[in-house]
Chain A
């Protein structure tokens, strides 16, 4: 028995990889669905903050990520766009990451088309500009000097969606979907704190813990953390809108549940083997 336990501690990593692959693939293949309980927390706070905005408000949505973090952040983009457009809130989008522009455009076009919202009237994509935090500060005094044209090269001054929007302070909220730097910290420090604009955000699960101080101080109104945040938001939007398009985060949560259980199982096995070896060597007291 002791030998078997010791052997468990030296399992080939290919076995771990295979079991992980199965843990992810099987729940998705068999469309395993688990209920997503909506608790009080940062996801609900963001939803409530958007719910409190009156129709016609203007929200800046910044797509600060790239394809590598898309599985976690793109479902958030879709769910947020769905919520904002359903509430008749105008969306001005941009990106601090070059590849975020196309991903944002994809989400906004898809949701906009499904809800019959018009580009330039209900939403616009300003595109990408380099500069990070400095870019945000410049937008604080004048957006048109930084983005004279949108992503497609049309002058933003003539667009109905930009009516009354000249600087960052004219937005009712800024939401950054962030995979790193520049991202949420830049928006909080350069826009939220300097121009007193409510900041919401979405980020990968690994980076969520570092943004909790901003939630604690009220510098952020809410936060979607990882796939769970996206699934929470999808569920809340679907509770309000029955005909909302099904998201990709909610089915992903079943796969993530099983994957977490598999990782925990391996940690337990590894520790049993470790303690057994230690006891054999007389190290455990």
Chain B
């Protein structure tokens, strides 16, 4: 029973979502399912918040590795939630102030650190060890120069060559990946709808 009920729900929901494209009578059912999905997805946010608190309280209680960061996380979470709930999220309110002056610069800083790691990793790992790696290296140099104004100052055709690499070899490779992934997605979806693929249920059987 524990297996039959979720499998039946998946089969019925999956079939309705497919049939709505071919059978007009099932269209409203499909729309209802879409609304249910949005409601369930909204609850996932609460689940995520609960999980965050549970994990960090657990870390503090058992003095787990780097537990000292957990009170900061909980305090930050509480500050954002409480100011947002009780004082509003409109421009000029404490929530907006914290978002603009703390979240935004800290988020941008984290992503900006990538530049340093990319430089270090490229220096250590980007080697012309064979002709394929050399080809990749040459393409990378052209695209890197083509994406900045200094490239066209060196040679005015570099941006055009860079764009050709993006429009032809890159596009061909990306399209192959996309088609492959889409075929895999269709196959996996059908396997789930027909109960062959059951790993999403959490068990192995």
Contact = CB atoms under 8 A, between A and B. Distances in A.
B148 A253 contact: yes
Interface in B128-171: 128-129, 137, 141, 144-145, 147-153, 156, 159-160, 163, 166-167, 170-171
A253 B152 CA distance: 13
Main SS class of interface, A = helix
Contact of B108 (A70, A105, A131, A257): A70
Contacts of A105: 91
A135 interface: yes
Q: Contact size class for B? A: 35 or more
B120 A13 contact: yes
A137 interface: yes
B99 interface: yes
Contacts of B171: 212-213, 215-216
Given A24-B115, A266-B122, A131 B178 contact: no
Given A141-B31, A216-B171, A253-B148, A130 B120 contact: no
A17 B119 CA distance: 8
Interface residues of A, number: 66
Interface string B84-128: 000001110000100110011111101110011011101110111
Contacts of B152: 37
A16 B44 CA distance: 42
Contact of A212 (B119, B123, B149, B170): B170
A181 to B, nearest CB: 13
Contact of A130 (B42, B108, B112): B42
Contacts of A24: 115
A90 interface: no
Interface stretch (A51-59, A159-167, A269-277): A269-277
B142 to A, nearest CB: 11
Interface of B: 31, 34-35, 37-38, 41-42, 44-45, 89-91, 96, 99-100, 103-108, 110-112, 115-116, 118-120, 122-124, 126-129, 137, 141, 144-145, 147-153, 156, 159-160, 163, 166-167, 170-171, 174-175, 178
Interface of A: 11, 13, 16-17, 19-21, 24, 34-37, 39, 41, 66-71, 99, 102-103, 105-106, 109, 129-132, 134-135, 137-138, 141, 146, 152, 205, 208-210, 212-213, 215-216, 225-226, 228, 253-254, 256-264, 266-267, 269-271, 274-275
